[in-house]
Structure 1
Amino acid sequence: MVIGPQLEATGRLVGYARVSTKAQKLDLQLDALRRAGCEQIFHDHGVSGAKTKRPGLDRALAYLRTGDVLVIYKLDRLGRSVEHLAALLREFHARGIHLCALSEGIDTQTIGGKLVFHVFSAVAEFQRDLIRENTLAGLEAARERGKRLGRPKRLSAQKVREARRAVHRDGVSYAAAARRFGVSPATVWRAVAG
Structure 2
Amino acid sequence: MSFYGYARVSTTDQDLSLQEAALRAAGCTVIRAEKKSGSRRDGRTELAILLEFLRPGDTLVVTRIDRLARSMKDLQDIVYDLKERGVALRATEQPVDTATAAGKAFLDMLGVFAEFETNLRRERQLEGIQAAKARGVYTGRKPAIDAEEVRRLYAEEKLGPAAIAKQMKIGRASVYRLLGNANVA
TM range (shorter): 0.5 to 0.7
* Uncovered stretches (5+) of structure 1, i.e. residues with no partner: 1-13, 31-42
Which of the numbers 10, 18, 33 marks the counterpart of 1:48? Answer: 33
Give yes or no for the alignment of 1:173 onto 2:160: yes
Equivalent residue runs for 1:1-194 within 5 Å: 15-18=2-5, 29=27, 44-45=30-31, 47-50=32-35, 52-54=44-46, 55-60=49-54, 63=55, 71-72=59-60, 74-76=61-63, 80=67, 83=70, 89-95=75-81, 97=83, 99-101=88-90, 103=92, 104-147=94-137, 149-165=139-155, 170=158, 172-193=159-180
Contact 1:174 1:185 in 2 (8 A): yes
d(CA) in 1 for partners of 2:4 and 2:119? 31
SS, match of residue 183 in structure 1: coil
Aligned-pair CA distance for 1:109: 2.0
d(CA) in 2 for partners of 1:133 and 1:160? 38
Contact 1:178 1:184 in 2 (8 A): yes
Contact 1:18 1:77 in 2 (8 A): no
Tell me the alpha carbon deviations over residues 116-144 of structure 1, each in whole angstroms, 9 at most, x when there is no partner.
22212211221121122112112211211
Could you say if the C-alpha distance between residues 158 and 105 of structure 1 is closer, same or farther in structure 2, counting changes exceeding 3 Å?
closer
d(CA) in 1 for partners of 2:58 and 2:65? 10
Aligned-pair CA distance for 1:99: 3.9
Tell me the alpha carbon deviations over residues 8-67 of structure 1, each in whole angstroms, 9 at most, x when there is no partner.
xxxxxx64423878x97959615xxxxxxxxxxxx635x42546322334312xx56xxx
d(CA) in 1 for partners of 2:170 and 2:153? 11
Sequence identity percentage: 21
* Uncovered stretches (5+) of structure 2, i.e. residues with no partner: 7-15, 37-43
Aligned-pair CA distance for 1:110: 0.9
- TM-score, normalised on structure 1? 0.59
Q: CA RMSD in A?
A: 3.8
SS, match of residue 80 in structure 1: helix
Could you say if the C-alpha distance between residues 56 and 132 of structure 1 is closer, same or farther in structure 2, counting changes exceeding 3 Å?
closer
Tell me which structure has the larger Cα radius of gyration.
Answer: 1
Could you say if the C-alpha distance between residues 81 and 89 of structure 1 is closer, same or farther in structure 2, counting changes exceeding 3 Å?
closer
